[in-house]
Amino acid sequence: MNQFITGHYNELVSSAIILVVVLILKFIFTKAARKVGKLGEFNPVRTNLIIKYISFVLTLTAFGALTLVWGVNYQDLGVLLSSVFAVIGVALFAQWSILSNITAGVIIFFSFPFKIGNTIRILDKDLTPAENAENDTFVIEDIRAFQMHLRRANGEILTYPNNMVLQKGVILVSTYREEAPKENGEK
């Protein structure tokens, strides 16, 4: 054991430094994502999802840095990774919309100007045909990783993909779910 430690002292120290840096970055990015979520009054579930994405990217980065430090033979690693990525690529090609929805979910988290409870109108002719124009407003019920749940005035719930929200025009009708005011104290 001592022979291994003395023989790979530089690699072990570098690995420890990489792990400490990754942990510090994870702490900083997690704190920043929670702060953005709190300032934007986002759902905690959405904030936790973004934190998972951050952890995944940091883990991949740490893995890449550790392979550099330990001097992994990149020709052998290249053959392995190209085989794995070929299989994953074929599987994901059929599911490319999942990736675009996840990416759109991250973008919506950081820059979407609407929140849960807002009433919106989506400018999509397939979504609200002209003969049904009174049902073209939706209340945002939930925003998830892949889709948004929208409720029409008649109570129907629509699941709308995140990537479509970014591609279509969205109009803010009201900032919070508002009920019609009652007159003369009626309940």
CA 115, CA 40: separation in Å to the nearest integer? 9
The end-to-end CA distance of the chain, in Å, is 78
Summarised one tens digit per residue, pLDDT across range 7-65 is 888 888 999 999 999 999 999 999 999 998 888 888 888 888 889 989 999 998 998 88
Residue 76 has pLDDT above 60, yes or no: yes
The pLDDT of residue 179: 46
Helix axes 96-111, 44-69, angle to 10 degrees: 110
Record: fold of 113-174:
SH3 type barrels. (2.30.30)
* Alpha helices for 70-177 (secondary structure H): 74-94, 96-111, 162-167
- Residues β-bridged to residue 138: 120, 152
Summarised one tens digit per residue, pLDDT across range 123-138 is 887 776 555 555 678 9
Question: Phi, psi (5° rounding) for residue 42?
Answer: -85, 160
The predicted model gives 152-175 an average pLDDT of: 86
Residue 68 has pLDDT above 50, yes or no: yes
Residue 104 has pLDDT above 80, yes or no: yes
117: left (phi over 0), alpha (psi -120 to 50) or beta: left
